[in-house]
Structure 1
């Protein structure tokens, strides 16, 4: 049988920007979206327990990406909060931008990864979410493949190798989810703590985020009430820019500035979060 080139692939076969995947994907993807055992894990992945300070990006960058419709759920005009899925996507945007992908093409990537329907059994398109979960729980590395026109898909190394063997290879950018997620302080237990209450989950996620020098947790009548994160910036090179960035975080804050000899030597900011 004559082998089709990527340019000639059709909806009845494999779309030009789609990567042929093994049977494992169809089985696991359908189970991920439909089986009730996955429901709590999906909810935990999308629970917004994080803030701009957890993204490692400056406020102005996040604000620009939000106004450019790159974020998954832009709450412009309100306090920005983020889920693990949001942070994984933000880190992916950062990687794409560092590799020179334009805002316009990055929006195309977002469309292919989050919008519309999947290519089989009419399920929603949750391809990025699925591979993030596979990486976090199974350690299965997924690769984001982006072609020159911004079209994209995701696959494992094995599925990529088989696809390229069958259909040939086009110029593309490849980003490993493992490399994207390695700096996110997340453990398997974070997505599998079904025996914890919502408040216990929130506090645990806060502790595991590691974006603080100290954390205080306040309880009332044996129940979690709030936690306070404290972080110290020693001798900030541009203290007033840093101050503006800190103040842009929507959390309730207490900011302390220590000056010595007319110079700002430290900036301590404490953020309080109700549980």
Structure 2
């Protein structure tokens, strides 16, 4: 069983996102291990990029900080390799096509396998163009995790049928960021996905409170939180590990009580 599959096995998963290299790679390494200890089931690592089109201002600024601190894709792979000696938590890169092309597609996914990256999420890769990378992902055993948005409609089942790893259900229109209310009928979206695949569905975009996490996890297989964690990193810098750990622990506790129920 893959590490990603294990993250969802018999439980609701809490998925945490951080931007790699923000505020520096040493802190990123400590954050990954601390969030694992605090109960995170899977961690998404954003590959710093100058034009992250799906991200709101919080994560845009994190990308800028990471790049200014000297984070490169090579250094990020080196950090992941070090982390893999300390933890076996599933790790997924969130990146865009430009950094993959710049690095070299074959080289990028080969390095993913070598370092221990389990999957990739590419927000600007349309489903219709996924053959750009899907065969290389398969060759190196890296799951290409799709995003399904409320606007996907009739394409939802088409995307879900060919998904790998898990399915990232986008809760809201627009870019990432904290939202006070999530109005999308996530339950209906998840039921549509489940009609064609047994892969787990996790919900992200806009989740920041334990109550929101529990609500989203109740109708899916897990909750994804990014901007709220990145805000804590921005606030405390290199001293953020304790605050992030406490936050992750509270979010995991909020959804842990749902484990006895099916979505």
**TM-score w.r.t. structure 1 length?**
0.25
Q: Larger C-alpha radius of gyration, 1 or 2?
A: 1
- Give the structure with the larger helix fraction: 2
**TM-score w.r.t. structure 2 length?**
0.26
